Amino acid sequence: MNIIFILIVSLFFTGLVNRTKSIFSGRKGPGILQPIKDIVRLLKKGSVYSSASSFIFQIAPAVYFSTVFIAALFIPFGENPGLISFQFDFVLFAYLLALGKFFNVISALDTGSSFEGMGASREVLYSMLAEPAFFITIGSLGLLSGYSSFSRIFSSIHYSASGSPVIAYSLGILASIVFLFLGLIENSRVPVDDPKTHLELTMIHEVMILDNSGFDLGLILYTGILKFALYGALIANLFFLNTAYIIINVLIFFSFQILFALTVGLVESLMARFRMNQNPQVILMLSSVSLLIFLGVMIITGKI
């Protein structure tokens, strides 16, 4: 069920982000479905490959999409587990995303371009710095709930926070901040990177896909939207209600996805991109927030 909702959200997520940015800049902007229309147009075109690249460059977009799509199958919908669910499934979830990024990186290196190699180096660095924040956050929620799978963690977190919804939602807000910035970092958005810039010396993700075209480029762009929807789904799971009326959780899911998209648009409208040498410090600060969650869980569970 959740994978269907995630695919639906992916149709309008980037369009909603762009419309928010347009409103704040005083413009009407393109339609909400325009990014998907552009991707569909690219998917109808053929891809051009450099004679300097190998088969890695050709298969990387498909591997990137496949890993993100499979990762989406792990995400539960409230008390309903994802299509794939087992103990410590969040570890495989994280490293599926890492595998897709790995192929993106070696695809950029395969072109032999020094600019794309520069972007690949930054992409790997930022992902490495952001990884602890994800594991500390999910591990803390797992420690609070006493479970180790996505579905059991999210379904029992409200029962585990000493019976207090205030504590549960406070932890949920902190975890949402972590997932929000992880989404921005993983998709190389403001304030870490600006997807609209075309200055190779400051680009990260965009410079890595300069040689991709046609179907491959469309697949990469859509996978980026899908990855955003994954983090929005994780945030929504933090606030689902334990109710028999599934329609309520459906409304919560789409409300938080819309709020997530609006927040991304707001951040990109009001914040400037950080200087490149400041990005590692900012990303490491995200781990500090996750450590705050861990400390709160330790206090709640009486371990300190």
> What b/e readout covers 151-164, taking b as 16+ CB neighbours within 10 angstroms?
bbbbbbbbebbeee
Would you state the pLDDT for residue 274?
86
Neighbouring CB atoms inside 10 A of 56's CB total 14
The pLDDT assigned to 128 comes to: 93
The pLDDT value recorded for residue 197 is 73
Q: What is the pLDDT of residue 198?
A: 67
Please tell me the predicted confidence (pLDDT) of residue 275: 84
Residues of the chain with pLDDT under 70: 158-164, 198-201, 244
- H/E element holding 224? helix 214-237
Domain of residue 109 covers 2-300
pTM of the prediction?
0.94
pLDDT digits (tens, 9 = 90+) for 285-298: 999 999 999 998 99
Task: Dihedral sign for Cα 132, 135, 139, 140, please.
Answer: positive
Contact 232, 225 (CB under 8 A): no
Q: Are 204 and 126 in contact (CB under 8 A)?
A: yes
3-state secondary structure 176-207: HHHHHHHHHHHCCCCCCCCCCCCCCCCCCHHH
Q: What is the pLDDT of residue 201?
A: 66
pLDDT score for 190: 84
* Whether 211 contacts 152, CB under 8 Å: no
Q: What is the number of domains present in the chain?
A: 1
